[in-house]
Every structure is written in structure tokens, then in C-alpha cells.
Amino acid sequence: MLINYYNYFSPATEETTMPTSELIKCHCLSTEQEKFVHRNNIRERVGVYAVIIDQNEILLTPLSNGLHFFPGGGKEPWETFEQAVKREVFEECGLDVKLIRSLSPTENFIIDFDGQAYHLTSIYFLASVSTRELPDTSKTREFCERQPVWVSLVDFDQSLLPKDQDKFMAVIFEALSLFP
């Protein structure tokens, strides 16, 4: 049976003959909207992120859509998780980190800022830094000219984070539970 596949990012409608299992709902980072993507157009990706908490503040890096996230990014095939997260934090924040322990992973279907859909498995590490001073990284950041920021956890605004805040808040709460 020949199936008429939708073009990339076309939403499913009730008139479609495409089986719903062929379309995967993905979160678009640039628009904060949900879009349906054919499963053959989704790549696998592993991301590594550092949860750095110091003096009741968390270090976040700005995304180009105005939201913030944990410092980190994609793992290269030749790197260990630990090597990748240390490299990513240095690239994004100009800081060397000490990894304390791994945290619970998350899974998301996303569309990145370049329009590529991914099944993203995110590995998180509780980490510490020897200094809170953030060097100017505006010339080395890949996606955004804004600087990383320390954000208070006292009245933390969840809307700073991308959609699926419940998953990311669970990571923060897990990290906080490890402090005495």
C-alpha cells in the first residue's frame, strides 16, 4: 500500500490517510509550538547538561528564543558523557566544572533552531564550579550573544525554561535533594 506522506513539519489532520504512528509530535524550540514530524525525519541525539547550583542560585544559559536552559549540548560520538558535559560548559560559560554525580535522564522530541527534528535523550550531571565569576563568552557562544546567568532558586520562574518544565523542574529538585 502506498502511503501519501506529509511534507516535513506538516500537521496531521483528520482527512489524512497516514497512520498516526508515522507522525511524532515534536516541540519546536524556536516557536514553542508543537508540530508533527514523520518518524523517518527524526534523528537520534544525546545531549549532556550540567546542573550547577551555588549559593541558592542555578546557572542557566540563554537560548536564542529568549528562554534559558542548563549549560550543555550535544555529545560527540568519540566523547564520554563526562568529557562532553565538561566541554559544553566550558564552551558556553567559560568555566571548568567538577562533576559530582549523574542525575535522572529525560527524553524529548524536539525541533532545534535549525529546523531539524530529534529524539533527544538528555543526560544530566550535578556539578560544581570553583568560581561564580562568568567570563565574557559572547564571542564564543554558538547560538546566542547573551551571557549565562545565575538565577535565584528562591522564587524561580519556571517560564524561563522550555516547554516540558515539569521534566526540567524534576531534575532541579533531584539536584537540590542531594544538598544537606
Q: Is residue 90 part of a domain?
A: yes
**Residue 79 forms part of a structural domain:** yes
pLDDT at 139: 59
What local confidence, expressed as pLDDT, does residue 2 receive? 33
pLDDT band, very low/low/confident/very high, at 40 (cuts 50, 70, 90): very high
User: CATH code at 92?
Assistant: 3.90.79.10
The number of distinct structural domains making up the chain is: 1
3 state DSSP class of 125: strand
Residues 6+ apart with CB under 8 A from 144: 61, 62, 63, 64
pLDDT for the residue numbered 15: 46
pLDDT at 22 over 60: yes
pLDDT at 14 over 50: no
- The pLDDT score that the predictor gives to residue 5 is 37
Which residues contact residue 65 at a Cβ distance below 8 angstroms, ignoring those fewer than 6 apart? 29, 30, 31, 32, 113
pLDDT at 1: 31
Helical spans, DSSP H, in the chain: 81-93, 165-177
Instruction: Say if 7 falls within a structural domain.
Output: no
pLDDT of 142 higher than 70: no
pLDDT of residue 150: 94
What separation in angstroms does the CA of 70 have from each of 10, 41, 59, 120, 149?
30, 26, 7, 15, 10
Domain that holds residue 130: 43-177
Domain contains 82: yes
Q: Which residue has the higher pLDDT, 7 or 140?
A: 140
pTM (2 decimals)? Answer: 0.82
3-class DSSP state of 169? helix
* pLDDT tens digits, one per residue of 74-83: 999 999 999 9
Cell of 99: 562533576
pLDDT at 179 over 80: no
77 domain residue, yes or no:
yes
**Does any domain span residue 19?**
no
Q: Determine the pLDDT at residue 138.
A: 64
pLDDT at 89 over 50: yes
Rounded CA-CA distance 149/112 in Å is 22
Q: Among residues 121, 157, 114, 146, which one has the least CA distance to residue 28?
A: 114
Are 84 and 77 within 8 A, CB to CB? no
The residue among 76, 75, 80 whose CA lies nearest residue 48 is 75
Q: Residue 28 has which C-alpha cell?
A: 519546536
Question: pLDDT tens digit string along 107-125?
Answer: 999 998 899 999 999 999 9
Q: Is residue 3 part of a domain?
A: no
The Cα–Cα gap between 49 and 75 comes to: 10
Say how far apart CA 34 and CA 45 lie, in whole Å: 19
Question: Does residue 140 sit within a domain?
Answer: yes
